[in-house]
Structure 1
Amino acid sequence: MFALKLFAVLGCGLVAGVFFAFSTFVMPALARLKPQEGILAMQSINITVINPLFMTALFGTAVVCLFLVIFCLLKWHYSASIYLLVGSLLYIVGTVGVTIAFNVPLNDALAKVDRSSAEGASLWAEYLTNWTLWNHVRTIAASAATTALAIALRY
């Protein structure tokens, strides 16, 4: 059980760090570019992010968190159950759920746009605002999940 909790803490923390980087300097840097350049850069990022290491961190952590939720529901008397449950749900819903429901559809729309068109420039302006907002949510959720799961390591 310790190994699963440790993997969840490290995974949540790693993902929180990636999202934090995007919120604090990657997206602001892309916003400084001309729309065509920003779109091209983000389209490239959205392709290269789909790799085994990041997907394992993002979704492997979710699988471990799902296992921890099931464990908590079956062993509610376990002293760390509330921390495991809260941390795991924050990650599953607030990080992976938000990614699937909000960030991925925005990425899909960006992938289809003609970056040299007026529509592209308009979409880029909206994308920067909306994608970054949802990324802030993911960052906070993953950071809070890391905290709750780290507390659970005490037990």
Structure 2
Amino acid sequence: MTALRILTLMAATLTMGLTAGAFALYAHTIMPGLGRTDDRTFVGSFQAMDRAIMNPWFIGCCFFGALLLTALAGVAALRTGAFVWIAVAFGLYLVAVVLTVAVNVPLNDALKAAGDPGRIDVAAARAAFHETRWVVSNVVRTILTTGAFGLLAWALVVTER
């Protein structure tokens, strides 16, 4: 059981770190960079990146993988000193998942549904996207997942004691 507990916790920590990193990359590089572009570039680039991120690696291994593996790590750590840290990490990440599904995904989908940037009013599509709302939501997701990553890393320390 100890090996299973450590392996699930390590996997949860790694996938949470990858997810936090992806959200952070959008927060400190991608969205600020896109924010400085014209409407056509913004809409076309965001649509292309959103289509690209919808892949098994990110969705399965990172986004939902982090949720599932953190839950499994928590179950494996029941009645240990690491459980509380894993449980709080799970809670933080669950809030990030709900935020993603409630705010970011609908905005992403609406921008993709706006159509080909060469055939639509890109200024109207960008305005309807609610860029500031997306950015603020993503910063919150970044903080939540970074906190969850830190808690899972601490749970690894506690597990070794």
TM-score by length of 2: 0.85
1:49-128 to 2 correspondence within 5 Å?
49-55=53-59, 56-71=61-76, 75=78, 77-94=79-96, 96-114=97-115, 115=117, 116-117=120-121, 118-124=123-129, 126=130, 128=131
Residue 9 of structure 1: aligned partner = 13
Give the Cα–Cα distance (whole angstroms) in 2 for the partners of residues 93 and 46 of structure 1: 21
* Identity across the alignment (%): 31
Kept after mapping to 2: 8 A contact 1:12/1:145: yes
Determine whether 1:42 maps to 2:49. Answer: no
Offset of 1:112 from its aligned partner? 1.7
The amino acid across from 1:84 in the alignment is I
Residue 145 of structure 2: aligned partner = 142
Kept after mapping to 1: 8 A contact 2:42/2:126: no
Residue 130 of structure 1: aligned partner = 133
The structure 2 residue matched to 1:152, chosen from 151, 155, 160, is 155
Give the Cα–Cα distance (whole angstroms) in 1 for the partners of residues 148 and 138 of structure 2: 15
Figure out how many residues of one structure are paired with residues of the other and give that number.
149
Q: Any gaps of 5 or more consecutive residues in structure 2?
A: none
Q: Any gaps of 5 or more consecutive residues in structure 1?
A: none
The runs of 4+ residues in structure 1 deviating greater than 2 Å are 66-72
Offset of 1:71 from its aligned partner? 4.7
TM-score by length of 1: 0.88
What CA RMSD, in Å, does the superposition of the two structures yield over aligned residues? 1.6
Distance 1:121 1:142, change over 3 A: closer
Per-residue CA distance 1:68-125 (angstroms, 9 max, x = gap): 34456xx3x311111010011111222x22111111011011112254415224224x
Deviates more, 1:105-114 or 1:141-150: 105-114
Determine whether 1:18 maps to 2:22. Answer: yes
